[in-house]
A and B are shown apart, each in its own frame.
Chain A
Amino acid sequence: MGATFDIWKLTKQVLFYALVVVIVVVSVFPFYYAILTSFKSGTDLFRVTYWPTSLSLENYRQVFTQGSFPRNLLNSLFVASLTVILALFLAVTASFALSRVRFRGRGLLLMVILAVSMFPQIAVLAGLFEVIRGLGIYNTPWALIFAYTIFTLPFTVWVLTTFMRDLPIEIEEAAIVDGASPWVIITQVFMPLMWPALVTTGLLAFIAAWNEFLFALTFTVSNQTRTVPVAIALLSGGSQYEIPWGTIMAASVVVTVPLVVLVLIFQRKIVSGLTAGGVKG
């Protein structure tokens, strides 16, 4: 009896780990292959290998010296950071109103906000283009910041509204009694309690802005204003017929590293149960 039970348990464990390995391999392999390729040079590139054979930094050197890649990297950083700051500022204030201020049509407004985010990018491209031309920010980073903020806001507002609605109303009322203005309540009482939500939504907004391609391609034309996803796609080799896989892979790795670092940093900050102890619960 005991023996068969043990075998069954063992089989289950083996199957479980086999599944884990399959999932990990399938999802990680493309990245692994990109990293592998980025360290190859010359004709090595076209030989299929699964283990590191050479460790050449030539591709990385090329990425940073040829063309305007460093500039594109800075553009991306600027655009993504400002998008996050702007989106969080607007979303926090908007969600305070949506979750805490009683007004007519609040539920409808919230549904509309969510509905807006369901449109595919391509559907609004033409309209957005006109707006951006009208504002005179075509081919500047502001065009992208504007477009990304619009696309990030529905999600951010929705998440933060849900989160803020769950914060105990008495804490807000205690702050009102203490003489706090809405701005003080948002910044000194609510924001410290909302770190997990702010970090999560901020991180997602950053990643979305960092990787976005379609708007970036449409709203910028010069090498000086492009962001990295477009720059990578437009990287060209020595001749028209050569696709520079090595440099593309190196650039991709360089672009991914900041995201990984960000996630690792903020992962530690995402602590739950921050409201514990404030009210009887």
Chain B
Amino acid sequence: MASIELRNLRKSFGAVEVIKGVDLEVRKGEFMVFVGPSGCGKSTLLRLISGLEDITSGEMLFDGKVVNSLTPSKRGIAMVFQSYALYPHMTVYQNMAFGLKLEKGHSKDEIRQRVEKAADMLQIRQYLDRLPKQLSGGQRQRVAIGRAITRDPKVFLFDEPLSNLDAALRVATRIEIAKLHADMHEVTMIYVTHDQVEAMTLADRICVLRDGLVEQVGTPMELYERPDSMFVAGFIGSPKMNFISGKFAEPFGCETVGVRGEHMIINEGPGRWTGKVIHNENLGADSYIYVDIGSEEPVVVRLEGANTYKSGDSVNLSPMDDKIHRFDKAGKPIR
């Protein structure tokens, strides 16, 4: 229900500047995902938006109003922490009702209704009387999400909420969050993650951060198809984009040519490059083969289904000509 605007936002811890002037607009009801390498300031930026951390300079606006000095609850945000951060001595019900109780002016019945509605959404109704320690990790994280929903926030903040869960649970909870966003489509959500799949599947738009600055903002497909720099090209997509430079790139008229593994073709006849297979990863549905063509790093080729290549096999390969990315010396794309 709120649009968020950051204007030249900076944050220093002592002498160290961590956020170095971020301009960003998050639209009403948008699902924005922050990604970036470890230590680039994702959590710090999220905490600045939440109000848990003071802004060093710059402006933050919610719906056009400056909120720099407002407390988290005045901003109308709710936050889900990586470590759940439930109140250990309170039952699930009390955990979820705590914020509403502190906000004066809600009757007991209203609080109960809202807690139960949130509990139903997340299917944790049967656990309302339990203590957090009597729940599994996934249930705890759902309670933490439930606690945030109950307060009916304008902005929902998540800091790597799924990273403590095992793979299967992560998928299940990811789908819950996607459903949640669909159900609460007017609530703005900002989500920090390391996980490619979470970023690509959940986001309306992704914001790639690098070393305290915004590198690129765009829809997942924009970032995948038209990265604004080598950094973004290498960061979005799995396996990582192949960067081939030097004499291999010369025919393309650029410093470095980038080709994703899924855009490489193995040629039966002669191809653009030849090399030896050095490693083969069969995942069942698809497989990655690593081919040494003489460039700095081996080239990864993604193939549908399993394959029978062995180390030492010689293969010819070519990039799909319309899918290559060309970069200049500074790492900027040539289009």
Contact = CB atoms under 8 A, between A and B. Distances in A.
Interface residues of A, number: 24
B98 A280 contact: no
Nearest to A179: B73
Nearest to B133: A277
Contact of B133 (A170, A171, A175, A276): A276
A104 to B, nearest CB: 12
A197 interface: no
B84 A178 contact: no
B79 interface: yes
Contacts of B134: 277
A174 B79 contact: yes
Contact of B52 (A177, A193, A276): A177
A251 B81 CA distance: 57
A192 interface: yes
Given A174-B79, A277-B135, A180 B88 contact: no
A177 B73 contact: yes
Interface in A136-181: 168, 170-171, 173-180
Contacts of B86: 171, 174, 277-279
A277 B102 contact: no
Interface in A17-64: none
B88 A173 contact: no
Given A176-B72, A179-B102, A179-B103, A171 B52 contact: no
Nearest to A167: B88
Contacts of B137: 280
A177 B102 CA distance: 11
A280 B82 CA distance: 8
Contacts, number: 86
Contacts of B84: 170, 278-280
B124 to A, nearest CB: 15
A174 to B, nearest CB: 4
A177 B103 contact: no
Interface in A254-281: 274-281
Contact of B81 (A174, A192, A277): A174
Interface of B: 50, 52, 71-73, 77-79, 81-89, 98-99, 102-103, 131-135, 137, 140, 147, 151, 164
- Give 9 nearest A-B pairs by CB, closest first: A277-B133, A179-B73, A278-B88, A170-B85, A178-B99, A277-B132, A174-B85, A279-B83, A192-B89
11 contacts: A170-B84, A171-B85, A174-B85, A176-B52, A176-B72, A178-B99, A192-B89, A193-B88, A278-B85, A279-B85, A280-B140
